[in-house]
Structure 1
Amino acid sequence: MKKIIHISIGTIIVLIGLLLAYLAYLSLTYYRQPNLKLTPYNQQHTQLTTNTPYRIATYNIGYASYSPEYSFFMDGGKYSVAFSQEDVLTNLHGIVSTLKNLKLDFACLQEIDQEATRSYYQNQIDYVTKKLPDFTYTYGQNYDSPYLFYPFKKPIGRAKSGLLTLSKGNIQQAKRVQLPIETSFNKFFDLDRAFTISDIPVQTGKTLSLINVHLSAFTKDKSVQAAQLKTLFRYMASAYQQGNYVLVCGDYNHDVLGNSADIFGKSKTPLTWTKPFPKQDLPQHFNLATQNLAQKKIPSVRNLNEAYQPGKTFVSLVDGFIISDNIQVDQLSVKQTNFNYSDHNPVVMRFQLLP
């Protein structure tokens, strides 16, 4: 009996030691990337002009891991990593084909992995940019997470992931701007957050400031989401005051329509990522583009608590565009992909820069 007790105590001590060592590893390897300049690659030489129709899409590609059958553990589902490397490549192929078929001049992609356990270490930035060789691009890291040993049966592992901005015009300069996040232990799960600004010259001498953003989804601290939006709005206003055209594209993890539950006939119980977007707090001279989206009733996101079941799975609209008043929206829609390659559908806009 004493021998069994000694073995049990020894096992407990070892487990506690391993836990403390792991917590120390998380703390020591955790860091936040500061504001920094980004390098534009593969420069194109098309110059933007006023009164010319352009097409742009914003698309959270869900690190090419969210097939329709997929559910995610943080949403109450089953899985933590993609089904297989082959599945990731199949989804990447579908994502690129979708972007090509949209005949775009610009694209903003979120949740694109550079190196991650969850997507079998496929460098998705390389994959996408090689398949779309006619675009200048900038990449800004959103987060570089240490290895998360959770869930225990199939850990999500480590992830280096971010924001990819593609432009047919040359990008003169670009930067990454850090966003506020939680400072509690929750920071290891909701991860770092940032947005990127890519400045694209216009023939008139002005600049189009194209902002790509992905706000926090799982934080329960409302002040963090409010602080993120406040930081974003401040940079938008500053760019506009400099005389720029300002176009924000991204996944806001807020209900863009404000009443998506009514429009899509879904539960009104709010999730951490379905609070109404605070349009009333937008800076002067800015609007959230929503033209005809409610009438068309095509969602941009699905819940990952279960495999996708059309008509049953919770859906909403959290992706889209914020535009300054010197930009004219000609057309706005959500491209229906039936969530075949991601838990999001791309949102597409045709616009013009006003003289």
Structure 2
Amino acid sequence: MIQLEKSKYESLKKVGLALLSVILACVIIFCGYYIYLALHYYRIPDNQRLKINNNQSQLLKAGRSYKATTYNVGFGAYNHDFDFFMDSGQLKDGKKLQGHRGTAISKQAVLDSTNGVIQTMKKQNPDFMFFQKIDTDSTRSFHVNQVKKVEDDFPKMDSTFASNFHSAFLAVPLNNPHGTVRSGLLSMSKYKMDSAIRRKYPVSSGPIERFVDLDRCFVVMRFPVTNGKDLVMINSHMSAYDKGGKMRKAQMKLISSVMEKEYRRGNYVIVGGDFNHALGKDMMTHFEHQEEIPSWVSVLDQKMLPKDFTMIKAQNRENVATVRATDMKYDPKVNYMTICDGFIVSKNVQAKAYNINTHFEYADHNPVRLEFELK
């Protein structure tokens, strides 16, 4: 009997030691991986001067009409069959939703979406193009250099690129890791660009959040006008995974100060991009869907802007959304949709905008076109 109990004790001891070894190994792996991420984490310094490629010579003129577009291209992944692992939500009937994928479905999917973006822009024939979430060399987009592809297809436009996501290997989700990321903001134009400066947005400094919230930024570009003034164009991409909008409030405060400063100097100012806010409270619930409003949705409306600036509401905003929820594959009758892409202009710029309906075929966003004139 004593021998049996001793044998049972030895067996339990072995099981306990084995479990302890597994737990210890997991802790060591987790700590090692966290140290790896921390060692590779950095933020690009503020006021970084960016390289301008293929700079053009033509100058802008007051009183003439121009076109600009903004397009979050979602690293070429977000076709109708794509959902994203960081996005979760809930249907109005209570069913929970959770995205799954960390990478695009295939390299061909990235190439197809990137080509769709290029063809869409060629049809618009804009004078200025802003892109967000466009990759240069990332696991998630099968290392397709989207920036080069776009630049090559618009050889008569200058360009400048600002990195806003440069990560070590992100091993989530485990079954389809997001991997290493090199991504950012691409800005292009047909006109002479005097300078391009990368401004650093405040972002979350939490122990996990800082690795996934990107190195958020906006790009301030200066274009000379024949009347001696400058057109200051700003390409911006604000935080997304920011429950309650705390970081976005700080980001809005910073970019507003830049906008006001340039306008007081007598310059024209246009801000375009993905604001990751519903542009107007009415847009939070305007579009028909079967989802609850996602937790990331905050509102940016006119009263939150500096007094000499106007949010340009698209002429067709009632009919065309610019972003869809990605906690599930695309179903136009189910996915939450709103408007979070667009333009803000100073009062010395006359403008109107249109949301371009691509039916979310190439990205989880639709592009927006601004038609403007410098007064």
Given the two structures, how large is their TM-score scaled by the length of structure 2? 0.90
State the one-letter code of the partner of 2:350.
Q
- The answer on 1:136 being equivalent to 2:158 is yes
Work out which of the two has the higher radius of gyration on C-alpha atoms and give 1 or 2.
Answer: 2
* Distance apart, 1:332 and its partner CA: 1.5
- Alignment correspondent of 2:42: 31
Q: Write out per-residue CA displacement over residues 23-64 of structure 1, whole angstroms, 9 at most, x where no aligned residue.
A: 111111111111211111111122111111111110000011
Instruction: Output one character per residue of 1:200-231: Cα deviation in whole Å (capped at 9) or x when no partner.
Output: 11111111111000000111253211101000
Cα separation, 1, equivalents of 2:193 and 2:115: 26
Matches within 5 A, 1:47-196: 47-75=59-87, 76-185=98-207, 186-196=209-219
Checking the alignment, whether the CA contact within 8 Å between 1:146 and 1:159 is kept in structure 2 is: yes
Identity of aligned residues (%): 34
Are the aligned partners of 1:32 and 1:143 in contact in 2 as well (CA < 8 Å)? no
Structure 1, residues 62-99: CA drift from partner, whole Å, max 9, x if none?
01111111111111212110011111011111100000
Q: Which residue does 1:344 correspond to in 2?
A: 365
Deviation at 1:254, TM superposition (A): 0.5
Distance 1:268 1:312, change over 3 A: closer
What SS does the corresponding residue of 2:130 show, helix, strand or coil? strand
Paired residues of 1:212 and 1:248 also in contact (CA < 8 A)? yes
- Is contact 1:145–1:188 with CA below 8 Å preserved after alignment? yes
| Structure 1: tracts of 5 or more residues without a match | none
Aligned to 2:4: none
Change (3 A) 1:267 1:284: farther
Cα distance in 1 for residues equivalent to 2:245 and 2:314: 28
Q: What is the distance in 2 between the residues matched to 1:133 and 1:172?
A: 19
2:311 counterpart letter in structure 1:
L
Q: Distance in 1 between matches of 2:149 and 2:371?
A: 26
Counterparts of 2:126 and 2:20, CA distance in 1: 63
Aligned position for 2:288: 265
Contact 1:274 1:316 in 2 (8 A): no
64-73 vs 221-230, which moves further: 221-230
1:11–1:273 CA distance, 2 compared to 1 (3 A): closer
1:292-332 Cα offsets, whole Å, 9 max, x none, are 3444x100011111111122221110000000011111x32
**Mapped partners of 2:248, 2:186: distance in 1:** 22
The answer on 1:15 being equivalent to 2:10 is no
SS in 2 for 1:259: helix
Query: Residue type of the partner of 1:24?
Result: I
Q: Alignment partner of 1:143: what SS?
A: strand
Match of 2:28, SS? helix
Q: 2: CA distance between counterparts of 1:294 and 1:214?
A: 20
Separation of aligned partners in 2, 1:246 and 1:273: 28
C-alpha deviations, 1:242-299, integer Å up to 9, x for none? 211100000001011321144213468442442211421211210100143444x100
Runs of 4 or more consecutive aligned structure 1 residues displaced over 3 Å after TM superposition: 2-8, 266-270
Compare 265-274 and 332-341 and name the one that shifted more. Answer: 265-274
Which residue of the other structure, out of 215, 218, 226, is the alignment partner of 2:238? Answer: 215
Deviation at 1:4, TM superposition (A): 4.2
Q: Which amino acid aligns with 1:236?
A: M
- d(CA) in 2 for partners of 1:156, 1:24: 18
Give yes or no for the alignment of 1:243 onto 2:266.
yes
For residue 55 of structure 1, what is the amino acid of its counterpart? K
Task: Give distance in 1, aligned partners of 2:238 and 2:196.
Answer: 19
Aligned length: 352
Shift of 1:155: 1.2
Give the aligned partner of residue 8 of structure 2.
none
Q: Does the alignment pair 1:206 with 2:229? A: yes
SS of structure 1 residue aligned to 2:140: helix
The residue type equivalent to 2:77 in the other structure is S
Give the CA RMSD over aligned residues.
Answer: 1.5
For 2:293 and 2:241, locate their aligned partners in 1 and report how far apart those are by CA, in whole Å: 12
User: Which of 328, 344, 353 is the aligned partner of 1:332?
Assistant: 353
How many angstroms does 1:3 deviate by? 4.0
2: CA distance between counterparts of 1:152 and 1:89?
25
